[in-house]
Amino acid sequence: LLPDFADREKGPALRKELSAYLTGLGFSAEEVGAVSDHRAVVVAHKAMLYDRAQKAREDAQARNEPTAPVQKN
């Protein structure tokens, strides 16, 4: 579900970014390193993307820029 995670070029950056996101939420480095279930990684990745989208939306609203509607799956 996360092909970039296994990619030789994109994988290390994605893992580092996801690790920084999770430690920013209060997880310890040991907890992040102990994750072995791919489903937890997928959920964490989706949460990171969602938080980014919300932040971008808030920033755009603060600048009074129009935002695109969110598509629901």
pLDDT (tens digit per residue) in 11-50: 999 999 999 999 999 999 999 999 999 999 999 999 999 9
pLDDT, residue 66, reads: 65
In Å, what is the CA distance from 9 to each residue of 6, 22, 23, 59?
A: 9, 21, 23, 30
- The CA distance from 14 to 8, in Å, is 11
Q: How many CB atoms sit inside 10 A of residue 18's CB?
A: 19
Model confidence band, residue 65 (pLDDT cutoffs 50, 70, 90)? low
Evaluated on CA atoms 62, 67, 69, 70, the torsion sign reads negative
Please report which residue ranges of the chain form alpha helices under DSSP H.
Answer: 3-6, 11-24, 29-33, 38-62
Q: Per-residue pLDDT for 51 more than 80?
A: yes
